[in-house]
Structure 1
């Protein structure tokens, strides 16, 4: 067996060095190996060279951004479906003769419950069988269940179909982090993550705007027919243009081909050797058994991932609690139609775009600056300092929006009041998302699954408490309570920046699943 200690670090793949590295005690200059190379004499199969065009890290920039755009396009449609049905729910309730507010809310949030379970299966499978096939399968699973939702004969079947659609729809949300780690070096991930994250954050805001007009003009079932047309079209384009990006799977395929062509049974993938596994793909049951543990291991054994996931989940839950009152406030208090009430979500949406622009323009620059100050050594925690500022914006919106709506000020006032929350949420979401990609690039999909599962669980369940909360406390004090919760979490980013690196290094996590 070849000595794996001579292989490059496969867990992290930094950008290529621009200058050669002088070997200590040697008069010759060598270039550091960032990616494992083929050495048939030792039975190792890797890339043909550091500049091998088959390596996704070496794809042309245009090709990288096209692949990211494919992922991002579906990542917009799926979260769009999470909230698009919300404004049209009253029409469905009238048709099915349902008056239970909790059940009606559950028919909307059940989609996010699918987001909770889906990542735990899809992420590990993508790290064993490749991104492309899992991404494609999840997309078509989502598309098919839009038909079920559109033809649902009763509320029970609609809830079940939306749960199944959520399980498929989370594929793009889960695997996007993995594709970014596959394609982009550390210094470009801030911008790449910002583009990809447009969907999960903007989709739930655009959804009510579209769903309100569709439900009002042509009926609630057309919400799902429109989603079917849009998702089917994008899924077909992805099927034609997408390609595999996960390096260990690509090299495993290359190993199998070379073994057959050269009639050699001793060849092994460099990635599999580094992980202590073989080139033989595991069975589905073995894949699930091994892969399901990764997101759970991160949540249980990595305190920093658990803390960041919990913080993101709380913020995400506050977002969906925010959503529970917007439609009713602008219909009942301001006399908006269902379609116009959906436009009120633009307050948060515009905040998202402002926050996204700020993060996209600053994240990679800040990382480069801090890396230079640190003697050229990058630490994932360099993504987190901006969270301190953005966390202070979150509480503002709840007090502003809640009390202005309670006292019936002009309708533009509560809409503008939503802006700080939108900006702040992006400023929390993006650094955490990029941080886990930087920490676990080889298992970015599983790390993202841990984030997605926990935040989706709170996003699915917390809004169920919304109607009773605001019935008991009213818009003013109900939103103020949420504001005080957000205010209590303001010191959390300071804690992450001061102790994050220490906690991460003190509790390293083995995700290889090889028992070592």
Structure 2
């Protein structure tokens, strides 16, 4: 039984009418089925779903930065000498991230999660192999672009899957937190893996890409067996129970445990979390509205200023993949492999940020249970962590810039990565969780808008600014400039704490979501009453 097309015929923000409550019992069941998933799946099953998404995100984000660690062998293989072209493999991957979110995220909210992840996974698998077999520099860049398109779904659609599966804010927040951790730790692992594997030569990585293809196929079967459909509008009263799609997920856990060590030495492996199947859009106009939804949602103040803050930190984060070799190889004479290890403190900071996030979440839960006045405001669930992360991120900029010189031991500037990792993770996780909670079923589009904007500008700025910024201004002046710009943006989460409720009340998507929930409850009540009377 499929959800009626009229449920999706109106679109928020384009002048359409307010969606009406469904008139039929089948429509009510279609809407209610998201909550059915949350109640029917066991805790272990939900953990398998979350683990699949997190593992997938780690693999694709690790692939985003791999070329920065194997730059010498990669450039030698393709004869690249231009300073402008050297950062292009990373930048062009981010360009693919621009196109992927605006297509995959809204389609996942209409067609369902499963077909979107399957399409994304297929692209990623094929072009992972193609990158290893690229015959020329131009072909390699094109394959990196398509690889970025296929890698876009994890960061954008996963938030929607977590909303489907975890209706409680606590477990959902932890799942989004771990997803955010892999988003930042994955790119840090990439250069280290590439730097040491490049010692064997670039051509030997073709074998790794072939192994990666085999690994991806195994994980495709695993995810098909283990991860059920989750999006409410796609389940449509199919009678989902805890036994539906009850594949051998215990075997999948064992398979994952065996596969995990391989992930640390492979360029990329990609496992889809296939969640959902919905009725295709009936008209091209509806499809156009779906695809443009992330652009329209960007006009809302909550999303716009969140994008602005995350955008700046994201640009700096990827800028460092080109800046760290300049700083540590140029100032301290390190090799490629040793300079790549300077990212380890940033990864340590990211892990510490997770511990801080979990500790705050528990503290907030206790305060809310005790009904303390400050804990009754939704903004205090997530945003205080962003208020801490912003200043720490700015501190790391000044720390690196003012200590990276030959007279100071290399460990001192390297340790600036600890507040960098804490700051960027706290900000990223807090603001992404805040958007996920605020936009719920539209969170995939909200997160897609952040991915779209940050990758668009990062892809443009990274190849144009990395070398000129540090070589012409010097490390101290460049980092001071970046730190001052970060200080100017730190008031954003503080402003959300103060004016967040008012901004949500002005949001068409948030208000329509509240009205739609009320209509859903009324429709389900009428359907139950008719069934009982029958």
> Per-residue deviation at 1:239?
3.0
Say which SS state the counterpart of residue 197 (structure 1) adopts: helix
- 1:90 paired with 2:72, answer yes
Structure 2 counterpart of 1:476: 476
Residues 329 and 250 from structure 1, CA distance in 2 versus in 1: closer, same or farther, beyond 3 angstroms?
same
Structure 2 counterpart of 1:335: 333
Residue range with higher mean Cα deviation, 46-55 or 182-191: 46-55
Matched residues in 1 for 2:391 and 2:23: separation? 59
Structure 2 counterpart of 1:219: 202
Q: CA RMSD in A?
A: 3.0
Matched residues in 2 for 1:435 and 1:130: separation? 23
Give the paired residue count.
452
Matched residues in 1 for 2:200 and 2:438: separation? 48
Structure 2 counterpart of 1:207: 190
Checking the alignment, whether the CA contact within 8 Å between 1:179 and 1:246 is kept in structure 2 is yes
Checking the alignment, whether the CA contact within 8 Å between 1:77 and 1:231 is kept in structure 2 is no
Matched residues in 1 for 2:405 and 2:150: separation? 39
Structure 1: any 5+ residue segments left out of the alignment? Answer: 1-39, 256-278
Checking the alignment, whether the CA contact within 8 Å between 1:53 and 1:59 is kept in structure 2 is no
Say which SS state the counterpart of residue 129 (structure 1) adopts: coil
Checking the alignment, whether the CA contact within 8 Å between 2:439 and 2:446 is kept in structure 1 is yes
Residues 236 and 410 from structure 1, CA distance in 2 versus in 1: closer, same or farther, beyond 3 angstroms?
farther
Residue range with higher mean Cα deviation, 204-213 or 56-65: 56-65
Select 1:304's aligned residue among 299, 302, 305.
302
Q: 1:161-176 counterparts in 2 under 5 A?
A: 161-176=143-158
Structure 2 counterpart of 1:454: 453
> Per-residue deviation at 1:125?
1.0
Structure 2 counterpart of 1:5: none
Q: 1:287-436 counterparts in 2 under 5 A?
A: 288-300=287-299, 302-363=300-361, 365-366=363-364, 369-370=367-368, 372-374=371-373, 379=378, 382-436=381-435
Structure 2 counterpart of 1:246: 231
Matched residues in 1 for 2:34 and 2:443: separation? 23
Matched residues in 2 for 1:347 and 1:227: separation? 28
> Per-residue deviation at 1:340?
2.3
Checking the alignment, whether the CA contact within 8 Å between 1:351 and 1:418 is kept in structure 2 is yes
Which TM-score applies when normalising by structure 1? 0.81
Matched residues in 2 for 1:41 and 1:138: separation? 35
Say which SS state the counterpart of residue 409 (structure 1) adopts: coil
> Per-residue deviation at 1:413?
1.4
Select 1:159's aligned residue among 128, 138, 141.
141
Structure 2 counterpart of 1:111: 93
Residues 53 and 193 from structure 1, CA distance in 2 versus in 1: closer, same or farther, beyond 3 angstroms?
closer
Checking the alignment, whether the CA contact within 8 Å between 1:315 and 1:425 is kept in structure 2 is yes
Checking the alignment, whether the CA contact within 8 Å between 1:56 and 1:247 is kept in structure 2 is no
Structure 1 counterpart of 2:110: 128
> Per-residue deviation at 1:381?
5.7
What CA deviation, in whole Å up to 9, does each residue of 1:87-136 have, x standing for no partner?
Answer: 11221212222211111211221111111110110011111111112112
Structure 2 counterpart of 1:192: 175
Q: 1:49-64 counterparts in 2 under 5 A?
A: 54-64=36-46
Matched residues in 2 for 1:202 and 1:483: separation? 22
Residues 314 and 221 from structure 1, CA distance in 2 versus in 1: closer, same or farther, beyond 3 angstroms?
farther
Select 2:165's aligned residue among 180, 183, 195.
183
Say which SS state the counterpart of residue 410 (structure 1) adopts: coil
Residues 376 and 203 from structure 1, CA distance in 2 versus in 1: closer, same or farther, beyond 3 angstroms?
closer
> Per-residue deviation at 1:505?
1.0
> Per-residue deviation at 1:474?
0.7
Q: Greater relative contact order: 1 or 2 (C-alpha under 8 angstroms, separation 6 or more)?
A: 2
What CA deviation, in whole Å up to 9, does each residue of 1:188-222 have, x standing for no partner?
Answer: 22211112222211100011110111112242661
